[in-house]
Chain A
Amino acid sequence: MCNHHENKNCFEYVDSQMPRVFLELVVNGEKVQELIDPTMTLLNFLRINLKLFGTKEGCGEGECGACTIIMNNRTVNSCLVLAIEAQDADILTVEGLSKDGELSVLQQEFIKYDALQCGFCTPGMLMSARALLDRNPDPTTEEVKEGIAGNFCRCTGYQTIVDAILSAAKREREELR
């Protein structure tokens, strides 16, 4: 058993026992109010407090992008953001992509193109792709690659992911506009 606060090599989240701070924000359209530990990351808040396990922790240091979420219309690595920094923010996680039990076009295309194998990078990949298509509905292959440069996938070799995003962009332009 690791003595978390004493062990310099332990990366697990442990409550700092610091005085609680009040956090209010909107997650996937729902207002959330909680008293939280000020040292907690947004990633841990989503997973531990809100039980939204879609967002993953990979490296914990902003390299891999598995924890990517959309905060105030911009993608961020939620492992590098303190939960308290998200005060009054509007957060979208992978759980918020589907509507009324139906997967979004982007998610459907990921399935159609087999754009995942183990699936660990998928939530982050979907959020980066969502933000990319929101700011650029008709991206080139190069722009898609640049848009997901902060998301590592160790299974697919990326080609199917790029194909899925390009196909989703096309479908969204045709179906949703």
Chain B
Amino acid sequence: MISKFDYYKADSLEKAVGFLSEKPGTKVLAGGTDLMILLRRNKETCRHLLDIKGIPEANVLSFTPGEGLFIGAAITVNEICEDNGIREKYAALSEAADSLASYQIRNRATLVGNICNASPGADLAAPLLVYNGKVHISSKEGNRVVELKDFFTGVKKTVLKENELVVGISIPDVEPGDSSVYLRKSRIKGHDLCNVGLALRLTAERELLLAIAAVATTPIRLTELEASIKEKEITPELAEWLGDEIRKYMNPRRNSIRSSPEYRLHIAGVLAKKGLLNLLEKGAN
């Protein structure tokens, strides 16, 4: 490791954002499952590490009826998996959390870290997108809230400035009858990145919402597709159409080592069809 850094564990948000603005060359450390690899490979270097696991606000995982869910930046993926309330209300989020990497990694990796890392294939992005996730950002200058769909700007790039810290992500409460599903395809069963990750949500008003990962430079919410579905009735017959239609809204890259664009387009269609049937079956029970 070329990086020579000191380590600071902040015990308050104020101290953390103060540290960030005073010390250039600081990297934020939550789970470390991405950062430690980049530091080891010398792809990233840093002079200071700011551990945010001691910040009280970052350790909050709370659900407020009528308001929704808040997931702090230090909440691990396994804490999401183990929360039965989340599984009941936001099924796609639990399913995406289950499918992320291995048990050991999920014990360290955080949901917010998965989002801040901004990989095009971030598993947890798609479910948060269909639930209209909001990113809560703090800096010494104050706080701001950014819609998750506006948060990603490119491969591993976000709107986050160097002196800013994500405190957590919130998603609104949902009405009874709202259901969702997350489907992914990876090369092997078990510990692998996804070739396509697709979240579908059917709201209580029978509006179909979709978001997809690993088929463009960022995870994307398929708003145009959603608009074209709006006039149609959500029935099992629509699944076939959806499977073909979804392929028009993505742009997988050609030089990926995991799979060809043709394969990803095909799989996206298969998953969309399967996902919608799956959702309708859930609703029928």
Contact = CB atoms under 8 A, between A and B. Distances in A.
Interface of A: 5-6, 8, 11, 13-14, 16-19, 21, 38-39, 41, 60-63, 65, 68, 74-77, 79-82, 84-85, 87, 128, 131, 145-147, 149-151
B227 interface: no
Contacts of A74: 78, 107
Contact of A65 (B49, B78, B102): B102
A149 B5 contact: no
B82 to A, nearest CB: 10
A38 B37 contact: no
Given A61-B37, A150-B102, 14 more contacts: A8-B42, A17-B4, A62-B105, A65-B102, A76-B107, A76-B108, A77-B104, A77-B108, A80-B37, A81-B32, A82-B7, A149-B103, A150-B101, A150-B105
A6 B3 CA distance: 10
A38 B5 contact: yes
Given A19-B6, A63-B191, A80 B103 contact: no
B4 A80 contact: no
Interface in B1-52: 1-7, 9, 29, 32-33, 36-37, 40, 42, 49, 51
Interface in B151-192: 190-191
Contact of A38 (B6, B107, B108): B6
Interface of B: 1-7, 9, 29, 32-33, 36-37, 40, 42, 49, 51, 53, 78, 101-105, 107-108, 190-191
25 contacts: A16-B3, A18-B5, A21-B6, A21-B7, A38-B7, A38-B49, A39-B3, A39-B5, A61-B40, A62-B33, A62-B105, A65-B102, A75-B104, A76-B108, A77-B105, A77-B108, A79-B36, A80-B32, A80-B36, A82-B7, A85-B53, A128-B104, A149-B102, A150-B104, A151-B102
B1 A76 contact: no
B3 A75 contact: no
Nearest to B42: A8
A60 B5 CA distance: 19
Contacts of A63: 191
A165 B26 CA distance: 43
Contacts of A13: 1
A80 B108 contact: yes
B104 A76 contact: yes
Nearest to A40: B1
Contacts of B33: 62, 77, 80
A47 to B, nearest CB: 16
Contacts of B108: 76-77, 80-81
The 6 closest A-B pairs by CB, nearest first: A150-B102, A149-B190, A38-B7, A16-B4, A80-B36, A74-B107
B6 A62 contact: no
Contacts of B49: 38, 82
Given A17-B4, A38-B5, A75-B107, A82 B102 contact: no
B51 A85 contact: yes
A57 B2 CA distance: 19
Contacts of A147: 103
B164 to A, nearest CB: 23
Contacts of A85: 29, 32, 51, 53
A64 B186 CA distance: 17
Contacts of A81: 32, 36, 108
Nearest to B107: A74
B123 to A, nearest CB: 15
Contacts of B53: 85
A164 B5 CA distance: 43
A58 B280 CA distance: 45
A83 to B, nearest CB: 10
B259 to A, nearest CB: 19
Given A41-B36, A76-B107, A82-B32, A16 B42 contact: no
B39 to A, nearest CB: 8
A81 B141 CA distance: 31
